[in-house]
Amino acid sequence: MNQAAGADRTSFPTNGPQALRYRVKGMDCPTCAGKIETAVSRLPGVADVRVNYGSQVLDLALDEAATPRTELEGRIERLGYGVAPLPTASDLAMAQASGGAPPAETAEEPEPPLWRTRKALLGILIGALFAAGFLVEQIAPGVAGEYAYWPGALVGLAYYGRRAAVATFAGTPFSIEMLMSVATAGALAIHAAEEAAIVVLLFTVGEMLEVVAAGRARAGIKALAALVPKTARLVDEADGTIREVAAASLAIGQVVVVRPGDRVPADGVITDGASSLDESPITGESVPKPKEVGDPVYAGSVNADGALQVRVTKTAADNTVARILHLVEEAQASKSPTARFIDRFSAVYTPIAFAFAAAVAVVPPLLGADWGTWIYRGLALLLIACPCALVLSTPAAIASGLAAGARRGLLVKGGAALEVIGRVRTVAFDKTGTLTAGRPRVSDILVFAPDASERSLLGLAAAVESGSSHPIARAILDRASADGVPLRPTRDARAIPGKAVSATVMGQTVLVASPRHAAESARLGPEAERAVADLEAGGKTVVIVVRGAEALGAIAVRDEPRADAAAGISALRRLGVRSVMLTGDNRRTGQAVASELGLDVKAELLPQDKLAEIAALKAAAPVAMVGDGINDAPALAAASVGIAMGGGTDAALETADAAVLNDRVGDVAALVSLSRATLGNIRQNVAIALGLKAVFLVTTIAGITGLWPAILADTGATVLVTANALRLLRA
């Protein structure tokens, strides 16, 4: 914790509860969040505790007359977490009202490399001590015996034992650390030091991987904020001069200049100029939209080809990207991922098992039986109660399932996601870049003039578009290159933002324009108008090539479905999974693609609309969301499980729970099949682990088996569940 910051903030306690916000470093899972919430809630004067482990944020109300702030922070630190104060919503509102700069957050230390994290260093140390013990036992058998493994086991026991003790005093006696500490101590007590060392080593490795996954997820959330530029070109109202200011300082009503190629720094309305804006990161629209005076623009969208003046309508804290970021964080906070099996198990099984073992060791001797015999049997039961095999049953199956998926380019970020994928009954797909390739391509070339041909029409259009980076221009140039059409020299090239591009080709003016703008320069006949209407009804974007005052023909482009999209949807249907398309594209385009692929469609959806659709689907049954853009991030986070296409944006990949790295729609069905196979393997492993324990429980109490068979009950079950899990590698 930043002690100076904490001291400054606690110098003058105020009357009544105060809203506080903290960043809690090391809070990487729901279990961590639960421990912190329990520990903090038990303090006097604390209310309204809200913990978001995804963003590592703790919100609460504190009456410092009952509990000083330093005591609150100290309790969190003693649990093993770092804590630093953050500005609250009221702090930000006060700063905005006063016109001052927002209060700065406590500077975050950069994340250390994986091998330098506390849990990684602990795992390396335990692993090294275990390896040293193994070598000692092999080189000089009988010299050290079981004590060769004690150092590794004791290091783990000291670390997790301390955390278990603190959690117990803070109100969580049956934490996962307590389970591991008791299991390790029990193994040492009955001279199973090798097993004790293995248990703490595997547990530490699992904790380390959890930290990595949580860190990457948080990095994906931070990537959302990078959409908005750090600076803006502000127009001074007094003299009209332009100066560069921080985008976060823009106020409602101010006017900014957005040059071609720049990102829009704030949500606003165009007051001067016209251009095409690429809004795909925000709305998912595959083709840039023409914009003119009076049209709204979104922060983070890219200005393609014309200078604009934009009047700011929303502050940085309330713009589109900020809302998306808020939606992602809220979705992650309200998301209920499968609780780790060991936590649920330890909450019920551990106290019952230990009470039963203690009763077996003590009650019969009190009734006149032999103390030595029943203490021996009690220790055997304690070892049988050791949850090693059960602890491994789920992670072993998950690890094998993840490895099998990785071989096919199916990346799943953890066991909870892999389990949920197999239970989904609906898969919601984004369109652009997910079901489609994400890049418009020429689909049709229509010739209107008798002296023109497809090749000449394509050549003229490519020549005019040769200096443009517009997606439609790239599609035309790609088609010309593929057909071997040479580019003719041009001069006097110019763009009419949002309407057309023109140039002089071989002494004649050639215009490539939208149908509406082309009608101002040349007349389209009834047949040509019907042909254009048919193309647009098919979800295609059409441009007209005009030479002089004559319309030579039309070129249509469309973001075509992926080659395997229809087969992928059919594969899901065979698995009993329904598919639906959620897209920000226009209704006509969405319906055309959906009809071709055979799935339902909801079109013209903004990020918040997608979130609402996901919530409605999720209320009926588990739902998966498949997307590739930043606009999909809230829906990816809110769904039961989010799946990103491998070629998508970093934010989508980091926010999602899984990714299909080969960009194949059919891989979504493969993920469902793999998950279902893994779930079946987990059920088998749990049955093996609990079944063997049940058998040896009876035989131990009956005196048929003793300590060494009890050890086999645990280690044998561990071997069996591991071998069974390895079968998944052949999936």
* Residues known to be catalytic: 430
Of the candidates 64, 49, 59, 85, the residue with the CA atom closest to the CA atom of residue 16: 64
What span, in angstroms and rounded, lies between the C-alpha atoms of 595 and 574? 18
Q: How many CB atoms lie within 10 A of CB 642?
A: 29
Residue 477: both structure tokens together = 């140039």
HEC profile for 443-487?
A: EEEEECCCCCCHHHHHHHHHHHHCCCCCHHHHHHHHHHHHCCCCC
Residue indicated by tokens 């997307």? 627
What is the CB neighbour count within 10 angstroms for residue 232? 28
Q: Using H for helix, E for strand and C for coil, what is the string for 604-617?
A: CCCHHHHHHHHHHH
Q: Answer whether 164's CB lies under 8 Å from 228's CB.
A: no
Contact 227, 205 (CB under 8 A): no
Rounded Cα distance between 686 and 28, Å, is 26
For CA atoms 309, 313, 315, 319, give the dihedral sign: negative
Strand order in the sheet with 658-660: 410-412, 658-660, 641-645, 623-627, 426-429, 578-582, 600-602
Identify the CA nearest to 331 among candidates 42, 120, 635. Answer: 635
Residue 199, helix vs strand vs coil:
helix
CA 14 to chain CA centroid, Å, is 39
399's CB contacts (< 8 A; 6+ apart) are: 725
- CA 32 to CA 119: how far, in whole Å? 15
Q: Which of 205, 218, 185, 27 has its CA nearest to residue 121? A: 205
**Helix or strand or coil: residue 546?**
strand
Rounded CA separation 164/320 (Å) = 44
Backbone angles phi, psi at 239, to 5 degrees: -120, 0
The two counts, helices (H) then strands (E), for the chain are: 25, 26
| Positive/negative CA dihedral, 27, 32, 37, 38 | negative
Q: Which stretch of DSSP H or E encloses residue 383?
A: helix 371-385
Helices assigned H by DSSP within 10-88: 30-41, 69-78
Please provide the size of the chain in residues.
731
Residue 703, C-beta contacts closer than 8 angstroms, at least 6 positions apart: 373, 377
Report the candidate in 228, 356, 236 with the shortest Cα–Cα distance to residue 298. 228
Question: Cβ neighbours of residue 180 under 8 Å, at least 6 residues apart?
Answer: 156, 160, 164, 199, 200, 203
Q: What is the DSSP secondary structure assignment for residue 339, as one 8-state letter? A: P
> CA angle, 314 as apex, 309 and 319 as ends, to 5°?
105
Distance of CA 423 to the CA centre of its chain: 19
Residues 6+ apart with CB under 8 A from 344: none
